[in-house]
Amino acid sequence: MNLKNLEKRLTYLAANAIRDYRMIEDGDRIMVCLSGGKDSYGLLEVLRLLQARAPVRFELIAVNLDQKQPGWPEHVLPEYLDNLGVSFRILEQDTYSVVKRVLPEGKTMCSLCSRLRRGALYSAAAEMGVTKIALGHHRDDLIETLFLNMFYSAKLGTMPPKLRSKDGRHVVIRPLAYVPEKYLQRYADLREFPIIPCNLCGSQANLKRAEIKRMIQAWDAEDPKRLNMILRSMQNVRLSHLADTDQFDFESLRGKVASDMPDPVTGEQDPFVGLVKPLEEEPAL
């Protein structure tokens, strides 16, 4: 796929996600979080392409958080953004030292680093008066997170295409939610983005996310339609066909009560009280 066709595909997928989740509205002031990786570069360029042709007006401000990692090339992003003519701001916060001090050697740093980075970006967003915070997570990130949560946290959830922060002050959007990672890699290669590798967490070996990534890449190689089917399944959730009693009222689903059994609706004791034992772990085979 050449550059022109690839950009058409990227903007088509991003525009669909933006439309489906009403990510961008007229007059939005959008913070584009730029890390120096292929995904955030791709996000900025796709939004710039859409900005030129969108039926609504919105402003883009690229923001990078300099976490004071050793060897971080401070000049790369400012020079790149200056050449593009994009408004930008570089934040400086030594989260690197915090992470290295708090976590023992060999411990996965991604979670703590992400929380610190998110806090810094949210504070800057409030100060700058932005209405949306755009992140570069793509389709494969959403799918990887789904399986990470299932396999290692026993919960069913992922990164939503659009969300409100816990404090209610910010709206986060992921315009690349429909975009396969391989498209962004191809785009980065064709555009020759000045990629800055992460030396904090991205270089750690044997991360669980890397294991999941290998799994879904194998699935993609086996059947190119499979990952899109997984994405579509996240958009077609049937709570009554899962098993979460907090999300669906299973208790109200009652059959006909036998004549010789106390009716639970009348307030009499449920005939199963005392008979149900806590679920135990399955014995080892």
Q: Does the annotation list 33 as a binding residue?
A: no
CB 146 within 8 A of CB 158: yes
Tokens of 233: 């399944």
The CA R_g of the chain, rounded to the nearest whole Å, is: 23
Tell me: domain 3-238, CATH 1.25.40.10, correct?
Answer: no
Beta bridge partners of 66: 92
Residue 33: burial class (beta carbons within 10 Å; 0-12, 13-18, 19+):
buried
Across the chain, the runs of DSSP E, i.e. the strands, are 28-33, 58-66, 88-92, 132-134, 162-164, 171-173
pLDDT attached to residue 203: 45
Q: Alpha-carbon distance 231 to 226, whole Å?
A: 9
* pTM over cut 0.95: no
Beta bridge partners of 163: 172
Question: pLDDT by residue for the chain (285 residues), tens digit each?
Answer: 899 999 999 999 999 999 999 999 999 999 999 999 999 999 999 999 999 999 999 999 999 988 777 778 889 999 999 999 999 999 987 766 666 666 556 555 566 667 777 778 888 898 999 999 999 999 999 999 999 999 999 999 999 999 998 888 899 999 999 999 999 999 999 999 999 986 555 444 457 888 999 999 999 999 999 999 999 999 999 999 999 999 999 999 988 655 555 555 555 655 555 555 555 555 544
* DSSP H/E element including 98: helix 95-102
Q: Does the annotation list 198 as a binding residue?
A: no
Q: Would you kindly state where each structural domain of the chain is located, as residue ranges?
A: 3-238
pLDDT attached to residue 235: 96
Q: Does the annotation list 201 as a binding residue?
A: yes
Strand order, beta sheet including 132-134: 88-92, 58-66, 28-33, 132-134, 171-173, 162-164
